[in-house]
């Protein structure tokens, strides 16, 4: 392939067609540099509303605005050339009515170039998902632990244990029937995630679910170990960049205080006199 050959990026029907195939690789990104890092390795890059907690220091995703999602979506889009971009609809931007959801989803897609939106909720959001998909808005569903409903759920707890499993089954079936091209299963028991994966016709994307899901998603900052204190059970650390950064910053601070940085090779002399 020549350097000038345009790469065809996947679109939602391509992702749906991956059901039961090679697992889909999904990571979040919120900035252009990180998007460039994950792009060669991912099928989908998610501009998640987790940006509020990861980059803005907010206590939950409930405070994330449309303006924040547009800003970070535009930044991520500038760093992608291979992966498909999906963007989260923030809390309060789609729950009021299907019309509200369409206006905000259309804005996110038109202003960022995202190929699809993701929204949280099961049976109660099925009508909205159907409304969007009939009007050309591809939707990725999200059931199980839905962080925007954390106050209703009583915290970031595993969902679908015991009798509650049937609720998750109904939610997954409802969003798929409504037209979602894929569905995130977050923090549900392994066996339930496997059962749902086998039952629905679209790919399931697991996070704290099962290796038998059709794909996996993690917050990139978590899997890179940028936050040393945050270690949820479902995150594997593939690096410890937070510790590396701490050591590097400490070394810089020590050299500045000792006046060993900048060294002679880091400063500039006088311009040579031209004769």
Fold category of 12-240 in CATH: TIM Barrel (3.20.20)
Q: Is 244 a catalytic residue?
A: no
Query: In the prediction, which pLDDT does 275 show?
Result: 63
Residues 75 and 181: their CA atoms lie apart, in Å, by 25
- Name the β-bridge partners of 28: 46
Query: In the prediction, which pLDDT does 1 show?
Result: 46
Query: In the prediction, which pLDDT does 232 show?
Result: 84
Query: In the prediction, which pLDDT does 159 show?
Result: 95
Q: Kindly name the residue from 95, 186, 240, 265 that is annotated as catalytic.
A: 186
Query: In the prediction, which pLDDT does 222 show?
Result: 95
- Name the β-bridge partners of 183: 141, 204
Residues contributing to the annotated binding site: 49-50, 88, 118, 120
- Name the β-bridge partners of 205: 184, 215
Query: In the prediction, which pLDDT does 230 show?
Result: 72
In a structure prediction context, what are the per-residue pLDDT tens digits for the chain, which is 275 residues long? 445 566 889 999 999 999 999 999 999 999 999 999 999 999 999 999 999 999 999 999 999 999 999 999 999 999 999 999 999 999 999 999 999 999 999 999 999 999 999 999 999 999 999 999 999 999 999 999 999 998 888 888 999 999 999 999 999 999 999 999 999 999 999 999 999 999 999 999 999 999 999 999 999 999 999 987 778 889 999 999 999 999 999 999 999 999 999 999 999 998 776 76
Residues contributing to the annotated binding site for Mg(2+): 49, 88, 120
């Amino acid at each position: 392939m020549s350097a000038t050959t345009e790469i065809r990026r996947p679109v939602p029907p391509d992702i749906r067609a991956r059901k039961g195939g090679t697992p889909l690789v999904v990571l979040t990104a919120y900035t252009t540099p990180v998007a460039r890092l994950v792009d060669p390795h991912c099928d989908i890059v998610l501009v998640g509303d987790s940006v509020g907690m990861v980059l803005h220091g907010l206590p939950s995703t409930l405070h994330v605005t449309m303006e924040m999602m547009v800003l970070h979506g535009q930044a991520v889009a500038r760093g992608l050339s291979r992966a498909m971009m999906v963007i989260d609809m923030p809390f309060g931007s789609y729950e009021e009515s299907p019309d509200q959801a369409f206006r905000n989803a259309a804005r996110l897609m038109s202003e960022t170039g995202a190929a699809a939106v993701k929204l949280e909720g099961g049976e109660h959001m099925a009508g909205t998902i159907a409304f969007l998909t009939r009007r050309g808005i591809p939707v990725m569903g999200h059931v199980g632990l839905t962080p925007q409903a954390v106050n209703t759920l009583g915290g970031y707890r595993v969902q679908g244990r015991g009798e509650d499993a049937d609720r998750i089954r109904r939610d997954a079936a409802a969003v798929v029937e409504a037209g979602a091209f894929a569905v995130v299963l977050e923090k549900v028991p392994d066996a339930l995630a496997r059962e749902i994966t086998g039952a629905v016709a679209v790919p399931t994307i697991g996070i704290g679910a099962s290796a038998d899901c059709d794909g996996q998603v993690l917050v990139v900052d978590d899997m890179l170990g940028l936050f040393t204190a945050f270690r949820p059970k479902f995150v594997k650390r593939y690096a410890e960049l937070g510790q590396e950064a701490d050591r590097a910053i400490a070394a810089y601070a020590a050299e500045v205080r000792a006046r060993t940085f900048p060294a002679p090779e880091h400063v500039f002399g006088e311009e040579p006199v031209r004769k």
